[in-house]
Structure 1
Amino acid sequence: MSDSTALSAEDLIAQYGGIALDKQNDLSALIGNNNWNADLNEGVISFGDQLTFPIQILGTFSHSSETFLWGWANTQSNIPENLLQQAAQLKAYGEAHQLPLFTTSQFDGSVNDVHYIGLIASGMFDASAYYVADYGSGALLVTIQSDVIDKTRTDAPQRVLTVFPQLISLFEMDHQQALSSYLNAKAFQVTTKDKELSATYNGSTIVATFDELSRLASLNGTLS
């Protein structure tokens, strides 16, 4: 995570949201319908008997109060400090760049906000994925780092055509900036001219156009 350029939360979701949401597809395919189980003493989350991954804890969401509590502010749960490193780094980043999202210990929100934070953190820390572990009264937000997940990653160009529209339907952002960042992260060669973007990767081409507000107008692909 670089502090060289101050970014707003909207900039961050545009920069990291696409590739992070892409990674969620890989995690979902890998864990299937397995239930989760977290062991904070070991610092891991498990899905069934075969899949166990190291985690970092970002925070918790309460369904009843509809509030998000950052892990660094959750003194009652005695979360091991080594599992709060990323949460602490996000707080420091927020303090340096005046981002209340990362510095307000507890705030009103929705499950959508939990995913918003998860996507940003997953991208900023180059995590394998994030996971919202629902335990009934609330949910635990974690990032996951595992070679097992990384090795299942698909670079299929056609995924862009489904993931990107999903991303911009969920969150406000600069669509042109977000698509360019997503395609760069997937190793496309990206060219932009005014409100047009073209990108190529291994013989596949994606072309997009945007309106005067940088909102997506069209997205098409010629995929090999």
Structure 2
Amino acid sequence: MHVATGLARQLALGDLIGERGWQLDLADGTVTFGDDLRYQVQLLGTENHDDGSWLWAWANEASSLPPALLHLCGWLREYGQRQGLAELTEPTFALQRADGHRLALLASGLTGRCYYRGPYDGGAVFFHLDDAPPEITEPVRPERALSVLGQVLQSFPVDHRIAVESFLHQQSWRLDSAPTSVTAQHVDGSTLRVDFDALGRVSNMSGTVSP
């Protein structure tokens, strides 16, 4: 379960980019944010808001995309074939099945990369950053960890306990699991307790954050 850690990377990327504009250079295989941030990219796919569809970059023959930018989405297609995941192998499908954010976040969990959604008139392009700075993937501060967990549990159909334990473990918290709860301690002394109901859903989260 990597959804929460993937979301944490996205929030860190948002902090880094801020209000900068973006410019994608397909010939060079890079994206530029503002005047000072430039990264290598791998294309994922595009959302078409006119017909409400997703199109994987490997299937976008009309755009003559550089093959060097399709390695990642090609790998995802092969992964989908091995795992029997239709959304990773079908060239195009309705966004109601899975939109760009969900697909890119899944890819982020599998690859450890962060992604960017670049809007344009009539749609959006999604791509991964190949060489994002290390602060994007570093464990987040405890206060952000609580926020990330809350967003994931509200927005994604995940197993609550698996999501909580996986995320906190990936973020280097020390865990102590009980039948109906998980307590965790951060290296800075912050603590967190998560209680679960009879159906395994989070019923309460409480803790202390060290200054």
The question of a shared fold, defined as TM-score above 0.5 by the shorter chain, is answered with: yes
**For residue 161 of structure 1, what is the aligned residue in structure 2?**
146
> Contact 2:4–2:148 at 8 Å: present in 1 too?
yes
CA–CA separation in structure 2 for the residues paired with 1:98 and 1:111 = 16
Is 2:178 aligned against 1:193? Answer: yes
**For residue 38 of structure 2, what is the aligned residue in structure 1?**
52
> Contact 1:61–1:111 at 8 Å: present in 2 too?
no
Once the two structures are TM-superposed, the CA of residue 112 in structure 1 deviates from its matched residue by 7.0
How high is the sequence identity, in percent, across the aligned residues?
32
Q: How many residues align?
A: 208
Is 2:62 aligned against 1:62? Answer: no
Q: TM-score, normalised by structure 2?
A: 0.92
**For residue 10 of structure 1, what is the aligned residue in structure 2?**
none
Once the two structures are TM-superposed, the CA of residue 151 in structure 1 deviates from its matched residue by 3.0
Alignment of 1:145-184 (within 5 A): 145-148=130-133, 150-151=134-135, 153=138, 155-184=140-169
> Contact 2:80–2:86 at 8 Å: present in 1 too?
yes
**For residue 126 of structure 2, what is the aligned residue in structure 1?**
141
Is 2:28 aligned against 1:42? Answer: yes
Of 1, 18, 31, the residue aligned with 2:4 is 18
CA–CA separation in structure 2 for the residues paired with 1:76 and 1:191 = 53
Superposed CA deviations along residues 150-206 of structure 1, whole A, max 9, x for unmatched, are: 236563111111111111222211111111111111111223222311211212211
User: What is the root-mean-square deviation of aligned Cα atoms in Å?
Assistant: 1.7
Alignment of 1:86-97 (within 5 A): 86-97=72-83
**For residue 200 of structure 2, what is the aligned residue in structure 1?**
214
Change over 3 Å in CA distance of 1:113–1:212 after alignment to 2: farther
Change over 3 Å in CA distance of 1:87–1:116 after alignment to 2: same
**Secondary structure of the corresponding residue to residue 198 of structure 2:** coil
Is 2:17 aligned against 1:27? Answer: no
> Contact 1:161–1:220 at 8 Å: present in 2 too?
no
Residue identity in the other structure for 2:9: K
Once the two structures are TM-superposed, the CA of residue 145 in structure 1 deviates from its matched residue by 2.8
Of 199-208 and 61-70, more deviation after overlay is shown by: 199-208
Once the two structures are TM-superposed, the CA of residue 212 in structure 1 deviates from its matched residue by 2.6
CA–CA separation in structure 2 for the residues paired with 1:110 and 1:51 = 33
**For residue 94 of structure 2, what is the aligned residue in structure 1?**
108
Is 2:110 aligned against 1:124? Answer: yes
CA–CA separation in structure 2 for the residues paired with 1:114 and 1:103 = 14
CA–CA separation in structure 1 for the residues paired with 2:158 and 2:64 = 36
Q: TM-score, normalised by structure 1?
A: 0.87
Residue identity in the other structure for 1:191: D
Of 184, 187, 205, the residue aligned with 2:191 is 205
Superposed CA deviations along residues 83-103 of structure 1, whole A, max 9, x for unmatched, are: 111111111111111111111
